[in-house]
């Protein structure tokens, strides 16, 4: 006997210009998980329930327990709205919290970086760090994702570049309209390009929400090496993933003939202002120890994604011994 189950999730994607425009999409009684950089923002005065979050350093089980206690004490229930306002660490944390509190409460995400708007807030992955990055998590798409482009005006150059990395990655995996814009060196940090990046990600996620069928795994291009480098050296996530993308292309080029040229990929990054020194990590070996903690590991093997050619990703299993 076989019992089939399915869960229906729908995410409404909303673009607005001003940060204050976000308010109309958040119920006043929402429980806000807010990045600490917005702690003193005037628009927070509209809300009574605010949990200030310090980002990646607090994305752990200890702070998760504190947040659960906060929701419980504030008498949140299954119909309450948890709203995450911040970058990827905030959307990961708020998403995980909403997915397990009362076995699932309502979730709205307000990504405030280009990277979180085109990646972590889209597709339902949540996460907490424990030994390795995002080793705890769930799949729980938000009912709304509200993108206020004004947030991007105050981002540092490094944060803008990290967002561009994600957009370039998903564009080359899909090989569609956005890939053409990337190759032409067009400006990526604008609504049209971000919507295309979100559509490209949705292509890989829509029929593989829980990452079991193989298509969603292609989005991990660069992450096997990138997460290890990020964890070991503390460099920004986007830069780590970009480095991982180039390193895996170099690695595969030594093994098979049909591989997108790593030097061409490096040049694409350079055109968009992303300068990388992947050779530095070929000399250093310490980061390789962190690969064994990767959540894509299956016993003594790990699946690594690489790009055969534009629009044609593939994956290969390698021993991590």
User: Quick one: how far is CA 145 from the chain centroid?
Assistant: 14
Please report which confidence band the pLDDT of residue 299 belongs to, taking 50, 70 and 90 as the band edges: low
Per CATH, the number for 2-152 is 3.40.50.1970
What per-residue confidence (pLDDT) applies to 294?
Answer: 67
Task: Judge whether residue 295 has pLDDT over 90.
Answer: no
Task: Work out the pLDDT band at 286, boundaries 50, 70, 90.
Answer: confident
Q: Which pLDDT score is estimated for 237?
A: 85
Q: Kindly report the CATH number that applies to the domain delimited by 157-319.
A: 1.20.1090.10
- Report d(CA 158, CA 191) in Å as an integer: 19
pLDDT band at 300 (very low <50, low <70, confident <90, very high): confident
Is the confidence at residue 21, as pLDDT, over 70? Answer: yes
pTM: 0.91
pLDDT score of 188 more than 80: yes
pLDDT digits (tens, 9 = 90+) for 121-169: 999 999 999 887 788 999 999 999 999 999 999 999 999 999 999 999 9
Grade residue 274 by pLDDT with cuts at 50, 70 and 90.
very high
3-state secondary structure 115-148: HHHHHHCCCCECCEEECEEEEECCECCCCEEEEE
The position carrying tokens 């990138």 is 226
The DSSP output letter for 206 is: T
Locate the domains of the chain by residue range: 2-152, 157-319
Percent of the chain at pLDDT exceeding 90: 75
């Amino acid at each position: 006997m076989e019992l089939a189950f399915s869960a229906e999730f729908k995410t409404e994607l909303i673009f607005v210009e001003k940060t204050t425009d976000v308010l109309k999409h958040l119920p006043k009684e929402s429980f806000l998980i807010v990045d600490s950089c917005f702690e003193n923002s005037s628009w927070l005065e509209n809300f009574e329930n605010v949990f200030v979050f310090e980002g990646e350093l607090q994305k752990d089980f200890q702070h998760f327990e504190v947040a659960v206690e906060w929701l419980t004490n504030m008498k949140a229930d299954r119909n309450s709205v948890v709203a995450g306002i911040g970058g990827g660490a905030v959307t990961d944390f708020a998403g995980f919290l909403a997915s397990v509190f009362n076995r699932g409460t309502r979730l709205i995400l307000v990504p405030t970086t280009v990277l979180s708007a085109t990646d972590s807030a889209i597709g339902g992955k949540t996460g907490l760090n424990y030994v390795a990055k995002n080793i705890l998590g769930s799949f729980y798409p938000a009912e709304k994702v509200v993108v206020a482009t004004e947030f991007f005006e105050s981002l540092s150059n490094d944060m803008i570049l990290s967002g561009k990395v994600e957009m370039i990655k998903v564009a080359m995996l899909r090989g569609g309209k956005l890939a053409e814009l990337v190759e032409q060196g067009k400006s990526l940090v604008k609504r049209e390009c971000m919507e295309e990046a979100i559509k490209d990600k949705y292509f890989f996620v829509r029929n593989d929400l829980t990452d079991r069928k193989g298509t969603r795994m292609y989005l991990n291009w660069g992450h096997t090496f990138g997460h290890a480098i990020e964890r070991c050296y503390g460099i920004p996530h986007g830069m780590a993933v970009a480095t991982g993308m180039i390193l895996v292309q170099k690695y595969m080029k030594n093994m098979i003939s049909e591989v997108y040229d790593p030097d061409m990929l490096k040049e694409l990054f350079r055109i968009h202002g992303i300068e990388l020194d992947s050779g530095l990590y070929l000399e250093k070996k310490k980061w390789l120890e962190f690969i064994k903690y990767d959540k894509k590991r299956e016993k003594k093997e790990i699946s690594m994604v690489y790009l055969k050619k534009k629009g044609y990703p593939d994956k290969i299993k390698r021993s991590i011994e």
